[in-house]
A and B are shown apart, each in its own frame.
Chain A
């Protein structure tokens, strides 16, 4: 039974999350009530969406550290757009968010694809550039709630069947990503590019282009999160979502997505995000200082990496240096 559980990371995570919920509700009886659970899910929605984008990138044996900076830039851009032109319908704002996010993501993808630069270096660089651009764009200023229009602020808060639209957006994205990953050529190409790049090339898959598309997906979802973040917290400033890129990586690693690429599932990314979401929401309940959250995420990431490596039972190869794979590709082309 335990072996079975260990083999299926998703089931194990569900059990752990259930145990956590049960444990926390002994401290605070209301914790596991449906209303609070729906709250936690809504609170975790943005992380879930970002983690799904990160998952697509990690599956191709890359990493995207620029997602949080993308959220900050896109969030700032759409908030300023909304403040400057209050007449613009929300659909235009949403399209702008997706578009800006996609462009920023595609920029990462182009550098990784065409110049073959390791993704870690590209996105470490664009991380500072995008956030710096948010500063240049806003002049260091804030966009506050009173400058934003009603539909901009209120739409994600509309409650439908007990869950705000923000939560439904996450569910929609989860469903879409599930379909993409399991039912489309792109999804298969993403798994193949990370699982065995050489074999992928033999099978006629353009690994570089697949990575580019994964980065574009990640960027587009980050752009969407930019709007959602600004609307949810009703404020836009340069430092929003600072450090959130680590949370998205953590959610993936906890969810069993291998940083060696090719291994992982949509359900894993979602459960990994929910695990972090439950812990974040539980800290105040069990009287632990919110300052300890960072250390807890760090410890959980390390534990998850150790656990993943045990499970994969093979030598960890690093994302930074994709030499083995590129050599093999070379041999083919």
Chain B
């Protein structure tokens, strides 16, 4: 994906904003030319997913879990019973929570379990959709670039044709005059 930068000349004083512009132009050009491997597409997909998450301001801990291969991000009825209080009060609260939990779980477990399945399905679906859209966009950009190249070639060939025609025209005119 990356190549060297030997062809760029820098002045005596460097404006880093200009360099960043050149870097971004180069990346845009590469995107246009469709120079991407499967790994590069996977990277772009990942970075897009990250970008969406950052725009949505998702908690970074949850985001990290969402990116991990296991499903620890999903809702789970087996939560840890804890309290921020300390001392005897804390022990009493934890005991009460432990006593109450089995009754609550009797009613909530199946709902939570079903929701977890749905979450997992949608996460899988959305991730694959982003990857497919990325792939199609890259293919689309590559096709556009090819089309532009073909148009330029066609224009060149048409010009060439006109030149040849104009070269043959004077001869025809002279024949007519005679």
- Report whether chain A binds chain B: no
Which B residues fall within an 8 A CB radius of A? none
